[in-house]
Amino acid sequence: MPTVGSPTLLSINLPPIALTSFFTYQDGQGLISIHYSPTLSLCLILGATPTPYPFFLWPSSSPAFAPPNNITEFRVRCACLSPPPNNHIAYMMDWKNKVFKIDLRARSVVQIGDLNLERGALSVKEEPAAMGVTAEGKVKVFWRQGGGLWIYELGGEGIAARKKEKENLRGLWEDAGGWG
């Protein structure tokens, strides 16, 4: 199981390529994901280290942004990038199961949900999660818990954001011939 070591200085020089998103699952040093926007010349880096770090990085010649003020938990469990045309919007869930919307254009981080009650008491084996977002902005979080394969959907923007749905996909998985 990967562990988080002492904080290290991270410097990444990205060439001007047409890469809109690169994802890597925890690399043993605490890196969760990197999202690069060539149109904004901005990189979003999310990690699993408890030490505060800047989320947004400019090219190496520019000054670094300070860590977001409204974030108290810097250990990120999972993250995803919105599909075009909203690929300047990313989402993340921290280790306290709070879900945040990240706007690379505005360089803002806003909490949009808290799944702590929905995820409940998890064993260490059940803690990992994955997330994705639809073109309509519906954020979906997936995890295993006991015998269940859970999906939790947070609605889109505005009033629709209050709509939440949790569903066990175990039956669907078994119907498709899945096991385990």
| pLDDT single digits (tens) 30-39 | 777 888 888 8
Model confidence at 132, in pLDDT bands (50, 70, 90)?
very high
Mean pLDDT of 137-144: 90
pTM: 0.75
Domains of the chain listed by start with CATH number: 22-175 (2.130.10.10)
Residue 162: predicted pLDDT: 54
Model confidence at 89, in pLDDT bands (50, 70, 90)?
very high
Residue 7: predicted pLDDT: 37
Using the 8-state DSSP alphabet, how is residue 170 labeled?
Answer: H
Residue 141: predicted pLDDT: 93
10 Å CB burial of residue 115 (0-12, 13-18, 19+) is: buried
pLDDT tens digits, one per residue of 7-31: 333 344 444 434 444 443 444 567 7
Residue 40: predicted pLDDT: 84
Residue 160: predicted pLDDT: 47
| 70 sits in which H/E element | none
Residues 6+ apart with CB under 8 A from 56: 42, 43, 44, 65, 104, 107
Higher-pLDDT residue of 170 and 180 is: 170
Higher-pLDDT residue of 64 and 96 is: 96
Residue 29: predicted pLDDT: 60
pLDDT exceeds 50 at position 145: yes
